[in-house]
Amino acid sequence: MSRVQFSKELVERLNDTEAVTVLTGAGVSAESGVPTFRDPGGIWEKFKPEQLANFEAFMSDPDFVWSWYQHRREIMRDVKPNPGHYALAEMEKYFAVFNLITQNIDNLHHRAGSKKVIELHGNIERNYCIKCRKHFDDIDICRKQVLKCDCGGLIRPDVVWFGEALPYNALKNAEECSRNCGVFFSIGTSAEVYPAASLPLVAKQHYSYVVEINPKRTAHSELMDEVIEGRSGEVLPELLNFIKLNKIEK
């Protein structure tokens, strides 16, 4: 017996559409033990983004910024995907077109088995040299100091910092997927950081049915076609069961 109620309209839309787009934020990884940014006790309550997540801060004290990212890497390597990540990975199978866009850098969607993930803010498991742009995947996680590339350039995490542009192709793909879907889910994001927060609005402008899944209301709740109040680790497995029953029987 499902504890989450899905509306009749969502049921019909999911049955009728072949294209679903999902946008995820830090809340999707909260049940795995990765802290969010803006909830009470969140990352930006304890640390100042301008000291840690921008290029000027990195250039003025690279070891400090690097050690903070190493600390976050260690947290993320110790956690596991939760039922919400696994449900999204399995949902791919039930739609001809299923696009997963994430603001998260923790790699948990990949680790849960999602095959195609559009990473808007980068990935903490990747790094690159700021001078020659060479990529480094396996940086020793015990290192507390920043590393240098053979060319002499500093190696930085491949994440988007404040004031930096999002990866061009990722954003372009994300916008296209948001324009071309029958149902759009915005899950575990406060919808406060643009341009990611514009994607549900793009979807709505293009007549998609837009659904928010979050235990709390957000800046966008009023604009949604449907708000499902709940944790993604609980709601998404129920949504998957619902989709399985309906899509298989079709």
Asked if 135 contacts 126 with a C-beta cutoff of 8 angstroms, the reply is yes
Contact region for ligand OAD (CB under 6 A) — 24-32, 90-98, 128-136, 168-176?
Answer: 24-32
**How far, CA to CA in Å, does 213 sit from each of 4, 28, 76, 102, 188?**
11, 10, 23, 14, 6
Residue 24, token pair as written in the block: 């995820």
In one letter, which amino acid is 17?
T
Question: Is residue 29 near ligand OAD by the rule CB under 6 A?
Answer: no
Among 13, 27, 76, 106, binds ligand OAD (CB under 6 A): 27
Question: Is residue 192 near ligand OAD by the rule CB under 6 A?
Answer: yes
Closest CA to 157 of 99, 73, 94: 73
**How far, CA to CA in Å, does 114 sit from each of 71, 97, 244?**
25, 13, 17
Q: Name which of 26 and 117 has its Cβ closer to ligand OAD.
A: 26
Among 32, 37, 110, 112, binds ligand OAD (CB under 6 A): 37
Query: Which of 85, 110, 121, 220 does the annotation list as catalytic?
Result: 121
Q: Name which of 82 and 208 has its Cβ closer to ligand OAD.
A: 82
Q: Name which of 5 and 142 has its Cβ closer to ligand OAD.
A: 5
Question: Is residue 38 near ligand OAD by the rule CB under 6 A?
Answer: yes
Catalytic annotation present for 121:
yes
In one letter, which amino acid is 83?
P
Name which of residues 152 to 191 contact ligand OAD (CB under 6 A).
160, 188-190
Residue showing tokens 């998609």: 208
Q: Name which of 149 and 193 has its Cβ closer to ligand OAD.
A: 193
Asked if 177 contacts 183 with a C-beta cutoff of 8 angstroms, the reply is no
Count other C-beta atoms under 10 Å from residue 247's C-beta: 14
Phi, psi of 224 (to 5 degrees): -75, 155
Q: Name which of 148 and 217 has its Cβ closer to ligand OAD.
A: 217
| Pairwise CA distance, residues 167 & 171, whole Å | 6
Contact region for ligand OAD (CB under 6 A) — 3-11, 71-79, 170-178, 211-219?
Answer: 211-219
Question: Is residue 31 near ligand OAD by the rule CB under 6 A?
Answer: yes
Contacts of 169 (CB under 8 A, 6+ apart): none
Question: What are the catalytic residues?
Answer: 121
Q: Which residues form the interface with ligand OAD (CB under 6 A)?
A: 25-27, 30-31, 36-39, 42, 53, 103, 121, 160, 188-190, 192-193, 214-216, 218, 231-233
